[in-house]
Homo-oligomer: A and B are copies of this chain.
Amino acid sequence: MTAAVVSRQYACAKCPLRARAIFREFTAAELDYISTFKTGELTVDKGATVLVEGAHSAHLFTVLQGWGFRYKLLPDGRRQILNYVMPGDLIGLQGSLMEEMRHSVEALSPMLLCVFERDQLQDLYRNYPGLGYDITWLAAREEQMLDENLLSVGRRTALERAAYLIAFLHHRAVTVGIGTRGIFAIPVTQQHMADTLGLSLVHTNKTIRKLINAKLIRWRDGGCQVLAFEKLTEMAGWSPDLEEKRPLL
């Protein structure tokens, strides 16, 4: 058993995630509506596939807890990780809007998801245009992240790429409030890193080792921990955008 639907835990208004500073305030009416839109919660085991390429998903999800990643495969099995998902992110939008999903999503850790019905999406746009706008905003944000990733894979050196990726994930996690109590681990293996960076496992390992030896990161608790965020961003030639408040569906 890799996934299980659980009954509603709490109303959206009381969602602990929503209280975090990065998310914008919703009106009471919006919260009520979202509560209707939400049909349940879903827990997913680490390693389980949340959404699979080719399917036409009947659901949309908001991540409440845990990490996952989006990826695509070539016919012969080569894998490219496109982006990571973490609390507050919306997944499955493509599968809801288009005929079918063009990528898959897998859980990196146990995940807790909020489930929405695809069929209610039209209704949402009609009754709460502001929320529709929010969904577009979230899609534009995803595009922004992909742009930066593509720049990285296409034009940064292996070392810059690794530094960028780690800094990027760390920054997102901190922004959304993961590991506010000190150092936390990004729950990936070096194989995941390799498939994100567009490098082989062996070369990824050698590259990451340089970052470890330079004491910019360490590898512990089944993942990657950041020790010197600034040095990573500098190495990558990247500066994080200042984060505006964002919607949470």
Question: Which partner residue on chain B sits nearest A242 by CB separation?
Answer: B99
CA distance A180 to B158 in the complex (A): 42
List of B residues within 8 angstroms of A221 by Cβ: none
A143 at the interface (CB under 8 A from B): yes
A132 close to B125 (CB less than 8 A): yes
Q: How many copies does the complex hold?
A: 2
- Would A146 and B143 be within 8 Å (CB), given that A153-B153, A155-B74, A237-B75 are in contact? yes
In the assembled complex, the CB of A150 is this many whole angstroms from the nearest CB of chain B, namely 5
On whether the beta carbons of B148 and A102 are closer than 8 Å, the reply is: yes
Interface size class of A (residues with CB under 8 A): 35 or more
State whether B198 touches A154 (Cβ < 8 A): yes
Whether A82 lies near B139 (C-beta < 8 A) is: no
Chain B residues near A155 (CB-CB < 8 A): 74, 78-80, 198
Most chain B beta-carbon contacts within 10 A, residue among A147, A148, A198: A147
Which residue of B103, B133, B151 contacts A125 across the interface (Cβ within 8 Å)? B133
Between-chain CB contacts (< 8 Å), 14 pairs: A72-B150, A78-B156, A80-B151, A94-B140, A97-B140, A98-B141, A99-B242, A102-B148, A121-B133, A125-B133, A146-B146, A146-B150, A150-B150, A153-B154
